[in-house]
């Protein structure tokens, strides 16, 4: 296993260190309702102005020109302070944050539309599972978030794919020649960061920074584990994959029917570090085991819809529905058996008043 830690893009390298920000623009960024020069309307205009003023003040105070990672984190610090001070304001918190970020960028004379701030008082990182079909865009979206660290676990990847990710700024890459096997990279990646909030994402399915920001904000707000809510996308039960059925059955059996088919097996999701450590990092390598442990430890689990959640849960991931079903079956049997060690084979569900021995004997 070799590790390549790229130095943070520093001052004076602003062009490069925007992390492909231009490409990572949300699709609708250009079509945003234009109201004046800022592109923000109504109450969001005030946020833009506030961001602009705060950034301009920094420049006026003689700070060296900022760019990239540092500028983004500084912006987020200011936004966090503003959010904590601010009373309830109208409109969406995320929209207001993005208006503030745009203003801040303009104040620093940087292009807008890149950053999605999240009011954070804790450090945050992302772990990217980058399989052979990993897409750059998944990481480009992460670069828009106020993450202290991005760890890319690149398994059995060729030199070409390695170089592609190496070209990104501000990322740590763990590159292995051999395959670690499904989900083992989650533990490997989690061990490489000390961040207090950790986002796990699928490098093969790009999820917009806006959606990931919601998971991060919820983890910051006190949830131990924030899952992608895929249940709404599964449709009628007859069309569910085997994996989804098995996940929903385990949730029901562990007394959490409200989780439906949602699971730690699905990416993306976010953990708080104390929760992750309570469950134990090795369990992250067998996600249903981590899921079972999270329920057993009565962690605060919340679910939010994520449009592009990894299709593994839907049985159509890169491994194919048949293999996904087998893996899910094995993982969930292992997890259920672990639960049975403390709660018995029926997981404390009653047996009524069955006189079973009568069935084993000849009638009397």
Partner 1 sequence: MPPIPTHAQPALPPAAEAAQHILSPQPALAEPLRLAEAPGDPLVSVIIPVMNERRTLGRVIREAKRIHPSTEVIVVANGSTDGSAAIARAGGARVLSYAEPLGHDVGRGVGANAARGKALLFIDGDMVISAAQLKPFVTSILQGETDVALNDYSGPTDKAAVHSVVLAKHALNALLARPDLKGTSMTAVPHAISRRALETIGAEALAVPPLAHAMAVRLGCKVSAVKHINVGKLNLLRRKRERTNPLEFLIVGDHLEAIDWLARHTDERGGFGDAGRKREFAR
Q: Which residues bind partner 1 (CB under 8 A)?
A: 1, 178-184, 186-188, 231, 234-238, 242, 245-246, 248-250, 252-253, 257, 260, 281-282, 284-286, 319, 323, 325-327, 329-334, 336-337, 340, 345-347, 349-364
Q: How far is the CB of 331 from partner 1 (least distance, A)?
A: 8
CB of residue 284 vs partner 1: minimum separation in angstroms?
7
Q: Which residues pair with 228 in a beta bridge?
A: 304
Residue 271 CB, shortest distance to partner 1, in Å, is 15
State the nearest-atom distance from the C-beta of 174 to partner 1, in Å. 10
C-beta closer to partner 1: residue 24 or 174 = 174
**DSSP string of 236-252?**
SGGG--HHHHHHHHHHH
d(CA 204, CA 201): 9
Q: How far apart are the first and last CA of the chain?
A: 68
The residue (of 217 and 336) whose beta carbon lies closer to partner 1 is 336
Q: What is the dihedral of CA 305, 310, 311, 313, to 10 degrees?
A: -80
For strands 124-130 and 197-202, give the pairing. Answer: parallel
The nearer residue to partner 1, 164 or 278, going by C-beta atoms, is 278
Whether omega for the bond prior to residue 268 falls within 30 degrees of 0, making it cis, is yes
Closest distance to partner 1 from the beta carbon of 304 (Å): 18
- 3-class SS at 45? helix
- Per-residue tokens: 208: 């917009």
Beta bridge partners of 202: 129
Structure tokens at 54: 């705060």
57 versus 323: smaller Cβ distance to partner 1: 323
Rg from Cα positions in the chain? 23
Give the residue with the Cβ less far from partner 1, 47 or 183.
183
Which of residues 167 and 345 has its CB atom nearest to partner 1 in the complex? 345
Shortest CB 60 distance to partner 1, Å: 51
């Amino acid at each position: 296993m070799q590790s390549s830690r790229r130095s943070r893009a520093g001052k004076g390298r602003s062009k490069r260190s925007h992390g492909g920000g231009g490409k990572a623009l949300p699709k609708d960024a250009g079509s945003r309702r234009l109201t004046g020069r800022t592109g923000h309307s109504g109450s969001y205009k005030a946020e833009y102005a506030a961001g602009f003023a705060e950034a301009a003040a920094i420049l006026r105070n003689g700070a060296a020109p900022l760019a990239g990672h540092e500028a983004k984190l500084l912006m987020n610090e200011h936004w966090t302070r503003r959010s904590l001070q601010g009373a309830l304001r109208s409109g969406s918190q995320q929209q207001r944050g993005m208006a503030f970020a745009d203003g801040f960028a303009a104040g620093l004379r940087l292009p807008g539309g890149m950053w999605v701030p999240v009011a954070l008082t804790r450090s945050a990182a992302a772990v990217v599972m980058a399989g052979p079909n990993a897409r750059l865009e998944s990481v480009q979206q992460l670069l828009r978030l106020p993450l202290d660290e991005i760890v890319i676990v690149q398994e059995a990847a060729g030199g070409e794919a390695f170089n592609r990710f190496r070209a990104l700024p501000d990322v740590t890459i763990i590159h292995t020649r051999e395959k670690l096997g499904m989900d083992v990279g989650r533990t490997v990646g989690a061990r490489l960061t000390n961040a207090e909030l950790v986002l796990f994402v699928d490098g093969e399915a790009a999820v917009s920074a806006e959606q990931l920001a919601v998971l991060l904000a919820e983890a910051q707000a006190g949830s131990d584990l924030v899952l992608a809510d895929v249940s709404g996308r599964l449709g009628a039960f007859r069309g569910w994959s085997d994996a989804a059925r098995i996940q929903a059955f385990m949730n029901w059996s562990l007394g959490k029917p409200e989780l439906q088919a949602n699971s730690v097996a699905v990416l993306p999701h976010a953990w708080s570090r104390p929760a992750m450590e309570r469950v134990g990092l090795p369990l992250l390598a067998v996600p249903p085991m981590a899921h079972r442990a999270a329920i057993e430890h009565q962690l605060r689990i919340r679910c939010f819809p994520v449009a592009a959640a990894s299709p593994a849960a839907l049985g159509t991931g890169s491994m194919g529905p048949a293999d996904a079903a087998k893996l899910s079956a094995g993982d969930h049997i292992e997890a259920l058996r672990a639960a049975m060690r403390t709660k018995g084979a029926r997981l404390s569900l009653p047996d009524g008043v069955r006189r079973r021995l009568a069935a084993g004997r000849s009638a009397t």
